[in-house]
Structure 1
Amino acid sequence: MRLTLDSRPGANLVTRIGPAGIQVGEDVLDASFIISPGELLRRWAVSDAATLDLAALAPALALEPEILVLGTGARIQFPARALFAELAAKGIGLEVMDTAAACRTYNVLAGEERAVVAAIILP
């Protein structure tokens, strides 16, 4: 699936989602990753949303998001409820969705110049 682009030049955006991986610019990523408009962490050692905690999200939180978009694969897999509360206490909204929706949402929010970070879990 090709995603349309309508954003500021130079921002990291997801340009394609397919069986080989997720394309960000010219890079095709085939492992879990973290993306913000200005940063791309190509390898993120997380493979399951159910085990997520603040320590696992530390690389994403270091980018100081107001909104954290979590892509959990072909189906939505929610992390522990406590994580939502911990992030809310830090002033960070957590949006959990399937990976394709997470990538589209991230692109829209990045295009609006919001303080967004996406954490994408790939098998």
Structure 2
Amino acid sequence: MKLQPDFSPDTQMVSAYGPGYVEVNGVRHTSACVFAPQQAPKPWGAEHVGALLPAHIDALLLDPLPEVVLIGTGREQHLLPAALMRQLISRRIGWEVMDTAAACRTYNILAGEGRHVLAALMIE
């Protein structure tokens, strides 16, 4: 019995992560990036929570809007400023803030279920 889901080779999945990097489909990224199952990683520009601006959150609001946005904040979980959270809430987008390792694991689970998830990862 096959237990692994079938993925298109183009489906973006986290293949590895560790201190200072995240690999998506075998390609290593060493700075903040954003990606979705059908969107290859691209630079995000948000290197730490203290540097987040409304424009960084606007960059996550793709067409079509994701069901859920996972924000990885590096080695430790850091909460977002309330004004930035309101940007997501006002668009009725689910979101979760966690450390980057947890965001990688959660992303793979949700993407594997076929959910329209978006990962925005800060890498320390």
What residue ranges of structure 2 are gaps of 5+ in the alignment? none
- Structure 1-normalised TM-score? 0.86
Larger radius of gyration: 2
State how far apart, in whole Å, the 2-side matches of 1:91 and 1:74 are.
Answer: 28
Match in the other structure for 1:103: 104
1:8 Cα offset (Å): 2.3
Match in the other structure for 1:16: 16
Mapping of 1:102-121 within 5 angstroms?
102-121=103-122
Counterparts in 2 of 1:7 and 1:74: CA distance versus 1, 3 Å? farther
Mapping of 1:1-123 within 5 angstroms?
6=5, 8-10=7-9, 11-19=11-19, 21-63=21-63, 64-123=65-124
* Structure 1 runs of 4+ with >3 Å offset: none
Per residue, is there more strand in 1 or in 2? 2
Two-structure CA RMSD over aligned residues (Å): 1.8
State how far apart, in whole Å, the 2-side matches of 1:91 and 1:115 are.
Answer: 14
8 A Cα contact 1:29 1:42, kept in partner: no
Deviations 1:31-75 (A, max 9, x none): 100010011233221112234243112222125211000000110
Counterparts in 2 of 1:88 and 1:25: CA distance versus 1, 3 Å? same
- Give 3-state SS (helix, strand or coil) of 2:34's partner: strand
Tell me whether 26-35 or 75-84 shows the greater mean CA deviation.
75-84
8 A Cα contact 2:35 2:120, kept in partner: yes
What residue ranges of structure 1 are gaps of 5+ in the alignment? none
State how far apart, in whole Å, the 2-side matches of 1:20 and 1:84 are.
Answer: 26
8 A Cα contact 1:50 1:78, kept in partner: no
8 A Cα contact 2:18 2:101, kept in partner: no
1:18 Cα offset (Å): 2.2
State how far apart, in whole Å, the 1-side matches of 2:82 and 2:36 are.
Answer: 24
Number of residues paired by the alignment? 119
Opposite residue 39 of structure 1, the aligned amino acid is: Q
